[in-house]
Amino acid sequence: MLYRVLTTVASLVTVGFGFWHFFIPKIWQWYSHIDVRASELVLAVMMTNLFFSLSLVLMGLMNIVLVWSTETSDFTLLVVLTSSALLWMTRVIVQISRPQGSFFPWMQYGMLGAFVVVTSLYITSIALILVGK
């Protein structure tokens, strides 16, 4: 049962980051930093962010549906949760090697902390499933 709660918390954070990313370009005025003549670049950044944001939302919701379904096999759950863990683990590595939010140290380390927590929740869920819940 604990793995369900941990996965749900991590997945809700994933969904939250997805929704947040829909608004980041406007909040941080991304497009004002791109030459107006580069309309294809603006569109490419816009679409990349759209699909990334939507993917986070869908991945988080899929995790929640699968972890609470009585029809989900352990194998399926392990594959999906491992994908989520690898995504967040990559985000931790990138945040350490090329930190974002460096204008505000609290933001830089807050983001790293959040990424580590979410990664840890997914990894703990995977471990609990592997040892028999």
Tell me, letter by letter, the H, E, C secondary structure of 30-52.
HHHHCCCCCHHHHHHHHHHHHHH
Please state the φ and ψ torsions of residue 98, each to the nearest 5 degrees: -140, 70
28 confidence band (pLDDT: 50, 70, 90): confident
Query: Which residue has better confidence, 100 or 16?
Result: 16
Q: What is the mean pLDDT of the chain?
A: 95
Which pLDDT belongs to residue 105? 84
Residue 75 has pLDDT above 70, yes or no: yes
DSSP type of residue 28: T
Which pLDDT belongs to residue 53? 98
Residue 33 has pLDDT above 70, yes or no: yes
Q: Where are the domains positioned within the chain?
A: 2-130
Residue 122 has pLDDT above 80, yes or no: yes
133 confidence band (pLDDT: 50, 70, 90): low
